[in-house]
C-alpha cells in the first residue's frame, strides 16, 4: 500500500480534520502518500432546514461512503457527533481518536452567559439537543435555526441575526477560533452529543490492510466512552431527530460513568439518567441507560 485517499466534506473544519489524520498516517508509515478527496454532501447543501427535518446525520456521510464503495477513496474522517449510530453494511469504524474538549461553547459579542440574555433574545442552533437544554433552563429565550459551516454561523452572529449561538468547542479550537468562545458550557448545564469532540475514521469492512493501519490511531480510553454513548443513541433509534445527549467518563480505573438525557424539543419534558458499569462492556452500559430512560418516559417523548 503506497497511497491512501481520504474522502472528506469541503468545509474548512472537515478539511482540517482530514489533513490532521493524513499527517498522522504519513508519520505512521514512511513513504505513504495520502491525498484528500473533498466532496459536497447532501447535508452541506440543505442549509434551510434542521437535520431532523432533512433526513438526519446520514446526509453528511452518504457521498463519502459511495466514494469508498466505488474505490475513489479508502477512508473517511468524521466528527463522531455527526455519525449515525448504525453504519451501512460493508463499512466499519476502524478507529476513534483521542477526544478533544467535548463541551459546547456559548458564543456572543453582546452577552457573557445565557443568564445575561433578556427575555425574547435569540439563540442560534440547528441541534434539537442544544435547543431542548437551552429552553429547559431559559424558557424566555427564542431558539432559532442556525445551519452552515462554522464560519457561516459566526458571520450570521456578527451580522446581528442572533444574540448568541452555540457551537462545539472542539470545532472552534481545531480552526484556531478559541478566541471566539465567550464561555465553555459545563456538562451539567449542556450535556454533549454522543461522540462530541472525537474523530472517527470509517473504511470498508473488507479492507483489512487499511483497517490494520487505522487501528494504530485509535485511542482506547476515548473509544470505550464513545461506544457507551453511541449505544444509548442506537438503542433509542440512532437519529439526530432525537433530542438526546450522552457523555461517558472513565472512573476508578476499569469503570465508566455514563450520563444521558432525552428531552422534548420545547424543553418541558426532560428525562435524565446516570449509571456506572465496566469499561470492558461499554455497550451494555449504554443499553442499560437507554432502557432506564425508556422506562422513565423517554419512549413517550420520542414516540417509540
Q: Which residues are catalytic?
A: 82
- CA-nearest of 162, 147, 53, 164 to 107 is 164
Phi, psi of 3 (to 5 degrees): -145, 140
Spell out the residues 6+ positions from residue 168 whose beta carbon is closer than 8 angstroms to its own. Answer: 79, 81, 104, 105, 196, 197
290 burial via Cβ count (<10 Å: 0-12, 13-18, 19+): buried
Distance CA 236, CA 290 (A): 7
- CA-nearest of 275, 205, 209 to 247 is 275
Place of cell 472512573: 251
Distance CA 217, CA 215 (A): 5
**Any idea how long the chain is?**
304
Place of cell 438503542: 235
Rounded to the nearest angstrom, the gap between the alpha carbon of residue 97 and the centroid of all alpha carbons in its chain is 13
Amino acid at each position: 500500500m503506497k497511497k491512501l485517499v481520504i474522502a472528506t466534506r469541503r468545509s474548512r473544519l472537515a478539511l482540517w480534520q482530514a489533513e490532521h489524520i493524513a499527517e498522522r498516517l504519513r508519520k505512521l508509515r514512511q513513504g505513504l502518500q495520502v491525498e484528500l478527496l473533498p466532496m459536497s454532501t447532501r447535508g452541506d447543501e440543505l442549509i434551510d432546514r434542521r437535520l431532523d427535518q432533512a433526513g438526519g446525520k446520514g446526509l453528511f456521510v452518504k457521498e463519502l461512503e459511495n466514494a469508498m464503495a466505488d474505490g475513489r477513496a479508502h477512508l473517511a474522517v468524521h466528527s463522531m457527533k455527526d455519525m449515525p449510530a448504525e453504519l451501512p453494511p460493508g463499512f466499519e469504524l476502524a478507529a476513534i481518536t483521542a477526544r478533544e474538549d467535548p463541551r459546547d461553547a456559548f458564543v456572543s459579542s453582546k452577552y457573557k452567559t445565557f443568564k445575561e440574555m433578556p427575555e425574547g433574545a435569540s439563540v442560534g442552533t440547528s441541534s434539537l439537543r442544544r435547543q431542548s437544554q437551552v429552553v429547559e433552563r431559559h424558557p424566555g429565550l427564542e431558539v432559532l435555526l442556525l445551519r452552515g459551516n462554522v464560519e457561516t454561523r459566526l458571520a450570521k452572529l456578527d451580522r446581528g441575526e442572533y444574540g448568541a449561538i452555540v457551537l462545539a468547542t472542539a470545532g472552534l479550537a481545531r480552526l484556531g477560533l478559541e478566541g471566539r468562545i465567550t464561555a465553555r458550557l459545563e456538562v451539567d448545564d449542556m450535556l454533549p452529543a454522543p461522540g462530541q469532540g472525537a474523530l472517527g475514521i470509517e473504511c470498508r469492512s473488507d479492507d483489512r490492510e487499511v483497517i490494520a493501519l487505522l487501528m494504530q490511531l485509535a485511542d482506547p480510553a476515548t473509544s470505550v466512552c464513545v461506544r457507551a454513548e453511541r449505544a444509548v443513541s442506537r438503542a433509542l433509534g440512532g437519529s439526530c431527530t432525537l433530542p438526546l445527549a450522552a457523555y461517558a467518563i472513565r472512573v476508578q480505573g476499569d469503570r465508566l460513568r455514563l450520563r444521558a438525557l432525552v428531552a422534548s424539543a420545547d424543553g418541558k419534558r426532560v428525562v435524565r439518567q446516570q449509571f456506572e458499569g465496566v469499561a470492558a462492556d461499554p455497550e451494555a452500559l449504554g443499553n442499560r441507560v437507554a432502557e432506564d430512560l425508556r422506562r422513565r418516559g423517554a419512549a413517550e417523548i420520542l414516540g417509540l
